[in-house]
């Protein structure tokens, strides 16, 4: 069976910080991504090639706390536990309800999805649209970083060698519609070809706030505050009429790849059509 | 690493690599061959077991993460009245053919019925959506579970 994997199972969060600082061990909560990525033939121990820090059992990382301005979601709260929690925003629940399958949702966590930093990470467009920040913690203390500054490329992020993602901070906001669509090969268990999150609120017939985030169509999640800003204050009727032109403004940002799940052309075509559909009808429906 | 857990109602301790798959520990160390390896990457559900009452893929669960947990495999579950009821219902509905996926489906059904003793057809299909069956076309399995849920009070609280 070869050498044992160096794995640590800290008894507390503080101990986890110390072990992480001392060894650089990679945090593992449910293992649903890491165990697949490092799998070896049947019977052989998956080999991540580095020490592992088991953190999925730490209750202090699995809490959900609602404050006056934000909901703080523990990085290791399982998807299943979030589905049951009343403070978790509706759009995130809808996304989690479509993510993988019940056995994966019983183990998988937001912290894992974020640190995996895949452009196709199902929850990422939703977290981007919600303007989430991450609390990154270590023996040195804590820092807070917006999610779009944390993830820098496919599988790449700015987590320091001694840090752990502790919490996801979701600012509280009210929206008139929350929209999530996932395009995949089948309903359960499929990884996304494209995922789409839209948040919209209106005020006297005009756009008060609109946020659009698209996953799996570029090295990181696509969101343009510039385009969104230009739509604020626009009469809703006009937004609907110019939907095609607005969608076209996203075209330079949509830079998909072809892989085993889909092709570049399909991803570009479908994401632009999803955009157009969202701007014409999606903003006034819940999906 | 020393790892303690309750397996099929018995306290157990293993001293092993914490990154070993729970699947391999159950099959190789405990001889529980009802836990099947299908895809080995969390797609097919043949390796499903219950961990603290929730359905989990043992092929992507490192054994180090189940310290202190309660694990139930088909071998432990088959001693219960609920198992016998489900077995009969699946038999009658034609929910079993080659049998390779069956332990996983039965445990997924148990996890579902524990949470929701009277699921709709959609809820049954959702509850089983982590499990693949290449023989039955699913209808027999769904039918069997629906019959049990309608008829039996075993899961009602």
Give per-residue pLDDT as tens, A257-272.
898 888 999 999 999 9
Token pair for A60: 């202090």
Residue A158 placed within a domain? yes
Residue at A1 is within a domain: no
Q: Which domains does chain B have, with CATH numbers?
A: 2-76 (3.10.20.30), 80-151 (1.10.150.120)
CB atoms A32 and B60 under 8 Å = yes
| Chain B partners within 8 Å of A48 (Cβ) | 19
Task: Please write the tens of the pLDDT for every residue from B32-52.
Answer: 999 999 999 999 999 999 999
Contact B48/A at CB under 8 A: yes
Residue in chain B lying closest to A84 (CA):
B115
Instruction: Choose the final residue of a domain: A109, A143, A171.
Output: A171
Give the minimum alpha-carbon distance from A105 to chain B in angstroms, rounded to a whole number.
9
Chain A partners within 8 Å of B47 (Cβ): none
Cα–Cα distance measured from residue A44 to residue A49, given in angstroms and rounded to the nearest whole number = 14
CATH number of the domain within which A237 lies: 3.30.390.50
* A167 and A181 share one domain: no
Model confidence band, residue A1 (pLDDT cutoffs 50, 70, 90): very low
The answer to the question of residue A262 being in a domain is yes
Model confidence, pTM: 0.95
With respect to residue A73, please indicate whether it lies within any of the assigned structural domains. Answer: yes
pLDDT of residue B150: 84
Spatial distance between the Cα atoms of A266 and B85, rounded to a whole number of angstroms: 47
CATH code where residue A41 lies: 3.30.465.10
The total number of structural domains that make up chain A: 2
Which tens digit of pLDDT belongs to each residue from B54-64?
Answer: 999 999 999 99
A148, A171, A194 - which closes a domain: A171
| Pair A220, A88 in one domain | no
Q: What is the ipTM of this complex?
A: 0.96
- Give tens-digit pLDDT for A67-96: 999 999 999 999 999 999 999 999 999 999
Are A35 and B111 an interchain contact pair (Cβ–Cβ within 8 Å)? no
Kindly identify which residue of chain B lies nearest to residue A35, measuring between CA atoms: B60
Mutation for testing the B interface, residue in A102, A108, A260 having most B CBs under 10 Å: A102
Mutate to test the interface with B, among A32, A35, A100 (most CBs of B within 10 A): A35
Q: Are residues A231 and A141 in the same domain?
A: no
A105 and A13 both lie in a single domain: yes
The answer to whether B65 contacts A189, with C-beta atoms less than 8 Å apart, is no
Q: Of A171, A197, A218, at which residue does a domain stop?
A: A171
- A vs B, Cβ pairs < 8 A, gives 104
In terms of pLDDT, which residue wins out, A5 or A8? A8
**Which is nearest to A189 in space by CA: B45, B107, B143, B136?**
B45
A247 and A211 in a single domain? The answer is yes
**In a domain? residue A24:** yes
**Does A125 share its domain with A192?**
no
Considering only CB atoms, A45 lies closest to which of B17, B37, B111, namely B17
- Give the closest of A30, A31, A189 to B130, CB-based: A189
Residue A251 lies in a domain: yes
Check whether residue A29 and residue A147 sit in a common domain.
Answer: yes
Kindly state the percentage of chain B with pLDDT values over 90.
Answer: 94
pLDDT at A190: 79
Q: B106 vs B151, which has greater pLDDT?
A: B106
pLDDT at A140 over 50: yes
Q: A186 and A272, same structural domain?
A: yes
Contact call for residues B57 and A104 (beta carbons, < 8 A): yes
What is the Cα B100 distance to its own chain's centre? Answer: 12
H helix intervals, chain B: 22-24, 74-77, 81-93, 102-115, 121-127, 139-151
Note whether A269 and A228 are same-domain residues. yes
The mean per-residue pLDDT over the stretch A54-61 comes to: 98
> Chain A: which residues have CB within 8 Å of chain B?
1, 4-5, 7, 9, 28, 30-32, 35-36, 39, 42-43, 45-48, 52, 54, 56-57, 80, 100-104, 106-107, 187-189
Range of the domain at A137: 7-171
Q: Is residue A267 in a domain?
A: yes
Please tell me whether residues A201 and A91 are part of one structural domain. no
Pair A45, A143 in one domain: yes
Predicted confidence (pLDDT) per residue in A165-204, tens digit: 999 999 999 999 999 999 988 777 778 889 999 999 999 9
The reply to whether A26 and A102 lie within a common domain is yes
Q: Is residue A161 part of a domain?
A: yes
**What b/e readout covers B54-73, taking b as 16+ CB neighbours within 10 angstroms?**
bbbbbbbbbbbbbeebbbbb
* pLDDT at res. B151: 81
Is A253 a residue whose pLDDT tops 80?
A: yes
Beta carbons of A80 and B37 less than 8 Å apart: no
């Amino acid at each position: 069976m070869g050498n044992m994997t160096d794995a640590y199972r800290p008894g507390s969060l503080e101990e986890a910080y110390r072990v992480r600082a001392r060894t650089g061990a990679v945090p593992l909560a449910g293992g649903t991504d890491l165990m697949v990525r490092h799998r070896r033939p049947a019977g052989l121990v998956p080999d991540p090639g580095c020490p592992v820090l088991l953190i999925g059992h730490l209750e202090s990382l699995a809490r959900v706390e609602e404050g006056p301005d934000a909901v703080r979601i523990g990085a290791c709260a399982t998807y299943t536990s979030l589905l049951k929690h009343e403070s978790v925003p509706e759009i995130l629940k809808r996304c989690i309800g479509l993510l993988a399958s019940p056995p994966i949702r019983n183990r998988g966590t937001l912290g894992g999805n974020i640190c995996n930093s895949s452009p196709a990470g199902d929850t990422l467009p939703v977290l981007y649209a919600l303007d989430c920040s991450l609390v990154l913690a270590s023996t040195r203390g804590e820092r807070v970083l917006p999610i779009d500054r944390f993830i820098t490329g496919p599988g790449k992020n700015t987590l320091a060698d001694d840090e752990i993602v502790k919490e996801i901070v979701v600012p509280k906001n009210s929206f008139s519609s929350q929209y999530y669509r996932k395009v995949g090969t089948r309903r359960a268990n499929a990884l996304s070809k494209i995922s789409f999150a839209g948040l919209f609120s209106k005020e006297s017939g005009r756009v008060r706030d609109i946020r659009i985030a698209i996953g799996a169509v570029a090295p990181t999640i696509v969101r343009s505050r510039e385009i969104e800003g230009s739509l604020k204050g626009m009469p809703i009727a006009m937004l609907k009429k110019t939907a095609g032109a607005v969608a076209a403004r996203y075209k330079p940002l949509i830079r998909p790849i072809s892989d085993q799940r889909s092709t570049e052309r399909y991803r570009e075509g479908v994401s632009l059509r999803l955009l157009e559909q969202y701007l014409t009808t999606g903003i006034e429906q819940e999906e | 690493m020393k790892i303690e857990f309750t397996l099929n109602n018995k306290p157990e301790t293993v001293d092993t690599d914490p990154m070993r798959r729970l699947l391999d520990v159950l099959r190789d160390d405990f001889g529980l061959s009802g836990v099947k390896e299908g895809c080995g990457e969390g797609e097919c559900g043949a390796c499903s077991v219950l961990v603290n009452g929730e359905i989990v893929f043992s092929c992507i669960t490192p054994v180090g993460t189940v310290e202190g947990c309660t694990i139930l495999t088909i071998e432990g579950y088959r001693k219960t009245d609920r198992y016998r009821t489900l077995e009969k219902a699946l038999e009658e509905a034609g929910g079993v053919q080659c049998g390779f996926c069956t332990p996983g489906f039965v445990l997924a059904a148990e996890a579902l019925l524990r949470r929701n003793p009277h699921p709709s057809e959609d809820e049954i299909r959702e509850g089983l959506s982590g499990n693949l069956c290449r023989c039955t076309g699913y209808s027999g399995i769904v039918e069997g579970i629906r019959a049990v849920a309608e008829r039996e009070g075993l899961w009602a609280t």
